[in-house]
Amino acid sequence: MRDVVLATRNQGKLREMAEIARPYDIRILPLPDSVEMPEETGLSFLENARLKAQYGHKATGMPVLADDSGIEVDALQGLPGIYSARFSGPGATDARNNLLLLERLAGKAQRTARYRAALVLCDGPREWSAMGTWDGEILTAPRGLGGFGYDPLFLVPELGRTAAELRSEEKSRHSHRGKAMRALCALLAQGGEEAEADR
């Protein structure tokens, strides 16, 4: 069993990533309370993930996995993107972010969107990275009680349900984060350093 620290305070991500990693014999550990994560100053999901992974590794001395992810909405020219978690400003919450997204999309016919995830695992001089994408549409009202973030608004057309209506194993199978994590685990097994798992 390989122990890896996940560089996040988001309990939803922690639970989700632990479930995805378990079949690969990877145990996901929470970030120690004493470690303060750096400000996300990168201009892409991958830059932010790398920044957090490197910082976390230096602070803990452990292999550290960092995720940066968010939702890109076509009618908003790709926003909120890397600002997804703080879309509604200081003190942002999932509820406030979702409400602002609905306000910005009011009256717009185009509802296509995609979740993107970038993962970086830093273990000393070695790094591995992977990307994943999940296509969907934004509803006009939330549905479902599961998941976190924008999941209640994110409709998966081929399943006819939102991400918040999926069972955890279903979400892991289809999601951007699940795709990226499986690609990363395959890289670890093969000795590669970068992968993309968009579909």
Query: Per the structure block, which two tokens stand in for 143?
Result: 């549905």
Which band of pLDDT confidence, cut at 50, 70 and 90, is reported for residue 154? very high
Q: Is residue 62 scored above 70 in pLDDT? A: yes
Predicted local confidence at residue 198, as pLDDT: 52
Q: At 199, is the pLDDT very low, low, confident or very high (cuts 50, 70, 90)?
A: very low
Q: Does the pLDDT value for residue 150 go beyond 60? A: yes
Reported as a single tens digit per residue, the pLDDT across 75-110 is 999 999 999 999 999 999 999 999 999 999 999 999
pLDDT tens-digit map of 24-60: 889 999 999 999 888 889 999 999 999 999 999 999 9
Q: Would you call 198 a catalytic residue per the annotation? A: no
pLDDT at residue 192, rounded to an integer: 62
CATH number of the domain at 155, please.
Answer: 3.90.950.10
* Across 61-70, 122-131, 143-152, 184-193, least confident range: 184-193
- The tally of domains found in the chain comes to 1
Catalytic residue (choose from 3, 33, 68, 123) = 68
What CA–CA distance (Å, rounded) separates 70 from 191? 28
Residue 121 CA: distances (Å) to CA of 140, 145, 190: 36, 30, 15
Quickly count helices (H) and strands (E) in the chain.
Answer: 5, 8
Query: Range of 129's domain?
Result: 2-197
With tokens 């929470």, the residue in question is 30
pLDDT of residue 16: 87
Q: Residue 160 class from Cβ within 10 Å (0-12 exposed, 13-18 middle, 19+ buried)? A: exposed
pLDDT above 60 for 197: no
Q: pLDDT class for 124, splitting at 50, 70, 90? A: confident
